[in-house]
Amino acid sequence: MNAFYRRRAPAEITIAGKAVAIAAAWSASNPENQQLWNIAFMVGDTTGKLRLPLSVVEQGFARADDLADMKRLAPAHAALLLEAAFEVDLEWIEGRLGGTITITSVAPGDTTPDDPPFAFVLTGKDETIVCVLNTKDAGLAARFGRLLDELGKARPPIPAEFPLPVCLRRGPLAITLGELRSLQADDVVLFKDAEEERMAALIIAERLYAPVALIAGGPQLLAAPTAIAGSNWEWSMNQNTPPPAGQTLEESTLDELPVALAFEIGRTAMPL
């Protein structure tokens, strides 16, 4: 029981294409006196029952067959239909529990099972569903508890709309610190050759870069984004890198110190 009800943050999962939060709950009350149905199942050789509100079971059957009348189906036939409707979700759970799940019957829960109850709550955008797992096998409850532990530790996926800063830099141009200090307003900086002039890259969140060609229609991507660390553009990252230990510069040599200069000619934000 402790393995199932261990204190943990709600886990984010997807069931039937809907994102929900799942969390163990001590209370298995049915405040609205909803009609409950029992879904009997097996995980390998272990048996259990899942008690769900009728409205939730009806949604599951509607997903499989809008015309199916679940109340007229034999429990075994209803089980086959429900198993087919949630085939993908069941395979996902099987992979984490380490056993094949078989739904054996779906029937009205007129009586409460004698097996110990383990309650959990599914919270979606529009509804909250109280579910009860009944099983005599403490090992099965512990396996579900470990699954909740695993899901609770997993980080939710970053939404695709998450904005990342993207800037277009061209160059780099090799000059000396003395030349850089001497630059004034309205000065024109020229590249040494055409190849140097065409060098440009998209810098994404200061972590990725992608080489581009500057053409009349705009920057043209030459390769997929890759890690900027270890590349020719790593030096342009926003970081304070201390000089190597023991390295000192004489004042007289500062003007000859080589400097790589890049020109940022555009910045925007793009969805991940």
In 3-state terms, what secondary structure has residue 64? helix
| Torsion-angle region of 198 (φ positive above 0: left; ψ -120 to 50: alpha; else: beta) | alpha
User: What is the pTM assigned to this prediction?
Assistant: 0.53
pLDDT digits (tens, 9 = 90+) for 215-250: 888 888 888 888 888 777 777 765 555 555 555 555
Q: Find all residues with CB under 8 Å of 255, minimum gap 6, and list them.
A: 176, 177, 178, 181
Distance between CA atoms of 89 and 16, rounded to whole angstroms?
A: 7
Domain boundaries, the chain: 2-153, 163-271
| Contact status, residue 135 vs residue 116, Cβ threshold 8 Å | yes
Residue ranges of the alpha helices (H) in the chain? 2-5, 54-64, 75-85, 87-97, 138-153, 177-182, 194-198
CA 61 to chain centre: 29
List pLDDT tens digits, range 247-270: 555 555 778 888 777 788 888 888
* 2-153 to CATH, choices 3.40.50, 1.10.10, 3.40.1550, 2.60.40: 3.40.1550
Mean pLDDT of the chain: 81
CA distance 166 to 209: 9
Q: H or E element: which one contains 230?
A: none
Express each pLDDT in 124-135 by its tens digit.
888 888 888 888
Specify which residues 169 forms β-bridges with.
Answer: 201, 264
What pLDDT is recorded for position 40? 92
